[in-house]
Each structure stands twice: as structure tokens, then as C-alpha cells.
């Protein structure tokens, strides 16, 4: 595999866990894979979200024509949760909410999670703290 991997190639590999990927209808799509820790508004509770694709940077060839929805549908069909981080576009956050995404990790910015059912495990706070020592 050389150059920019396709989504299939990216999902099949174990390392590296981040890359720009080649995907139809997108000029740029930078994603990560791997578990993430999320807070969902319940103070004192953190959740490990597994089997998740993190979308860090995205640019559609023709914005507003449904390419993002088709990408999300494809990821969900693969059994993945979808995390969109640091949404800066003022119209994109409300669109994510209309699509069924939920706000998470709001203390660190506008982040959203979708298809999280079956992907979340409660994580004791002391486990998180011990990981950082």
C-alpha cells in the first residue's frame, strides 16, 4: 500500500492509527481509530468508547450534497461509532445534532458522538488518573 490509504485499507491495518484517507466525494478526510474516553453530561462519569472512528478534519468536494451523511452511514454499517472532534463550522454542529449525534467532551470543545450504543463501557475515574501517572 502506498500513498493515501482507502477507508478499507485504513480500517484493516493496526498501525498507524491516524491518516488522511481516500474516500469518494471528499477532498480531504483525516481520521483516527482506537478507543476514546468521553464524558456525556453526567458529572463524575467517564465512558470508554470502543470501535470508533474519530473524524478530525473533513472537506467535501461539494459541501451540502449529503457526502458526510453517506460517510457516516458507511461507518455505521461497518459497526463503528463515529466521533467528530472540535467542530468549528457554526452550521455543522447543529447539523450533527439533527442527524442524531450527541455532544460529548464539551469542556474541551464542540465534539459529537454517533452510534455509541453498544460501544460504551463505564470507566472508574481512578483508572483514568492511574493511566496518566
**pLDDT tens-digit series, residues 96-114:** 999 999 999 998 899 999 9
Which domain covers residue 96, as residue numbers?
A: 7-131
Is residue 13 in some structural domain? Answer: yes
State phi, psi for 132 to the nearest 5 degrees: -95, -5
* pTM of this structure: 0.89
Q: What is the CATH number of the domain that holds 14?
A: 3.40.630
Query: Does residue 59 form part of some domain?
Result: yes
Inter-CA distances, 98 with 1, 12, 92, Å: 37, 31, 10
**Gap between the Cα atoms of 92 and 100, Å rounded:** 13
Q: Please indicate, yes or no, if residue 81 is contained in any of the structural domains.
A: yes
In a domain, 2, yes or no: no
> Running along the chain, 133 residues long, what does each successive block of 10 average in pLDDT?
86 94 98 95 84 97 96 98 95 96 93 96 69 50
**What is the domain count for the chain?**
1
Amino acid at each position: 500500500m502506498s500513498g493515501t490509504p482507502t477507508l478499507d485499507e485504513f480500517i484493516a491495518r493496526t498501525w498507524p492509527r491516524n491518516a488522511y484517507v481516500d474516500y469518494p466525494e471528499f477532498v480531504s478526510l483525516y481520521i483516527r481509530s482506537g478507543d476514546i474516553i468521553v464524558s456525556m453530561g453526567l458529572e463524575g462519569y467517564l465512558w470508554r468508547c470502543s470501535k470508533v472512528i474519530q473524524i478530525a478534519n473533513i472537506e467535501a468536494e461539494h459541501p451540502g450534497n449529503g457526502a458526510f451523511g453517506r460517510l457516516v452511514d458507511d461507518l455505521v454499517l461497518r459497526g463503528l461509532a463515529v466521533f467528530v472532534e472540535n467542530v468549528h463550522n457554526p452550521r455543522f454542529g447543529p447539523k450533527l445534532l439533527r442527524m442524531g449525534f450527541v455532544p460529548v467532551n464539551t469542556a474541551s470543545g464542540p465534539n459529537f458522538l454517533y452510534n455509541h450504543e453498544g460501544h460504551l463501557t463505564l470507566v472508574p475515574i481512578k483508572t483514568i488518573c492511574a493511566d496518566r501517572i
